[in-house]
Amino acid sequence: MQNTINDKTWEIGGKTLSSRLLIGSALYPSPANMEDAIKQSQAQIVTVALRRQSAGENAGGNFWNIIKDLNIHVLPNTAGCHSAKEAITTAHMAREVFDTNWIKLEVIGDQYNLQPDPFETLKAAEILIKEGFEVFPYTTDDLVVAKRLADVGCKIIMPWGSMIGSGKGLSNPDNLLAIRKQFPELQLIVDAGIGKPSHATQAMELGYDGILLNSAIALALDPVQMAEAFRYAIEAGRLGYEAGVMQERQFASPSTPTIGTPFWHQFD
């Protein structure tokens, strides 16, 4: 990897990676722009989806050829599913098409804010894990839901930062931190709601293992440059977390030595 400030690797879903950015493939101005942005991000996981395709169309084939040529890991999603049954069927179809047991499990419970349905997500996760899938469940920042997902065997949990596509950042950093503290052994990815690089840095400083995002890069004025910005932001957040952030104080404390302060301040 070139131009990387952090050369440490990590593991997720049985793969060893150097990038902690999981990037989406939707909403870019053009397929070429998508390809350039993904390359610039240096992400090693890209999310994809399945949709109906008519006879004679080959838009899906063209897209898939671009993704295959990137030679990075593919994470199919179950976006648009509203029940465990739909999500499980989609996962089975994705496994055949994309030749991977990875699945980003999304079961939507509310059409307005696209909040995941924890009950259907849990039901689907339990079945898919028994079937040998590596499940990446999209969930809220609810600690108990995370606990239930871990109980059924999820090794990866992906709480939202805020609503999908909102760009609002981390609505409840305290909740995200509670999940991190409770489950140090799980791979935790903030998925959804990230709007700008500093949001990603904040999540990484909480100790999250990675960031999954799409709109923040694809809808930027310059997606390719924003992809680079997120690459550095995520690396910076991780480095900061590993370095150990200082404790907050309730009082001021000068950083310049007080010994040797010039005489005109000695009696302040």
Partner 1 sequence: MIKVSVNGEIKELKENLNIKEMIEALDYKQKGFAVAVNTCFISIKSYETTIIKDGDTIDILAPVQGG
How far is C-alpha 175 from the geometric centre of its chain's CA atoms? 16
Q: Would you call 172 helix, strand, or coil by DSSP?
A: coil
Q: Could you say which of 5, 32, 59, 245 contacts partner 1 (CB under 8 A)?
A: 59
Under the binding rule (CB under 8 A), the answer on residue 35 touching partner 1 is: no
Looking at the DSSP assignment, which residues form a beta bridge with residue 96? none
168 tagged catalytic: no
List C-alpha distances in Å: 110 to 51, 115, 187. Answer: 20, 5, 26
Site string for partner 1, 201-240 (x = CB under 8 A): -------------xx-------------------------
With CB under 8 A as the rule, give the number of residues binding partner 1.
41
Q: Where on the phi/psi map is residue 245: left (φ > 0), alpha (ψ -120 to 50), or beta? A: beta
Query: Among residues 8, 15, 104, 147, which one is catalytic?
Result: 104
Among the listed residues 147, 138, 193, 140, the one whose alpha carbon sits nearest the alpha carbon of residue 170: 193
- Give yes or no for residue 136 binding partner 1 (CB under 8 A): no
Widest Cα–Cα separation across the chain: 86
Binding segment for partner 1 (CB under 8 A), chosen from 87-95, 117-125, 145-153, 195-203, is 87-95
Q: Which of the residues are catalytic? A: 104
Q: Which residues contribute to the site for partner 1 (CB under 8 A)?
A: 24-28, 34, 47-61, 63-64, 67, 76-77, 79, 85-86, 89-90, 92-94, 96-98, 164-165, 214-215
